[in-house]
Amino acid sequence: MSSSSFPATLRTLRAAWRGVREALSFSSTRLRQHTGAHLHRIDRYSAVEAAALAGQRIETAPFRVGGHEWRLHFYPRGVLAASDDDAGRVSVDLILWSRRDPWWRLLPAMPSDVTAACRVSIALDGDGGNRAFCTAVGPHRFRGSLSSSGAMDVATVEELRAALRRWEGAGDGIVVRCDVTVTSLEESRIMWCIRQLVSKINLDSIR
């Protein structure tokens, strides 16, 4: 091959490569879900509820689902003050505590949002672990660390009091369970080019 034909060969190869990239490409999206649960026990719940003020919360320990840290805020007397003592609501709020794994904390924060759904249930002592009350929300988009799902009512204060009275003598504690499902869409791109590249290269030009 002469030196004068070398630039023409490069142009041919470059044009062939561009043609291959435009002629055949493949992309895919797949759904990934990570599910986890956290249990938080409150002993002597009747005394805790009697001492709590409207808007006062109990925080669970941080727990990890889908590579992110979460906390559940539990409000024995509701998020807002009620005009009647028995009209309050038992409420919960899921908090995205941190959206980065510990070893990422030296790096800049990732800009992507986190999508998650949650289900919160309350089980009573003496009830065999059965869920007496339950609520669910989601999927919800969390837009950064310390963002919230928004308060959700699980039961009224009086409903939970009455349920505990029915099991009086078997214990006065409750177990709050929070099930979280983190959902993400992952994209991948694969360029299939070898066959097209071979077919587009003019072999005669490089002889």
Same domain? 179 vs 91: yes
Are 18 and 41 contained in the same domain? Answer: no
Model pLDDT, residue 158: 92
The pLDDT value given to residue 167 = 76
User: Do residues 118 and 106 share a domain?
Assistant: yes
Quote the tokens at residue 86: 């028995």
Is the same domain home to 43 and 20? no
Predicted confidence (pLDDT) at residue 34 exceeds the cutoff of 90 = yes
pLDDT at 115 over 90: yes
pTM for this entry: 0.72
Same-domain status, 75 and 142:
yes
In this predicted model, which residue has the larger pLDDT, 107 or 162?
162
List the CATH number of the domain containing 60.
2.60.210.10
74 and 88 share one domain: yes
Confidence of residue 23 (pLDDT cuts 50, 70, 90): low
**Whether 33 contacts 65, CB under 8 Å:** no
Q: Which residue has the higher pLDDT, 192 or 18?
A: 18
More confident residue, 190 or 172: 172
| 186: Cβ contacts below 8 Å, ≥ 6 apart | 29, 30, 32
Task: Check whether 82 has a pLDDT greater than 60.
Answer: no
Contact 38, 24 (CB under 8 A): no
Range of the domain at 173: 30-187
Map tokens 């026990």 to a residue: 41
Q: Are 125 and 81 part of one and the same domain?
A: yes
| pLDDT, mean over the chain | 80
More confident residue, 106 or 19: 19
> For residue 8, what pLDDT is reported?
74
Instruction: Give the mean model confidence (pLDDT) for residues 96-124.
Output: 75
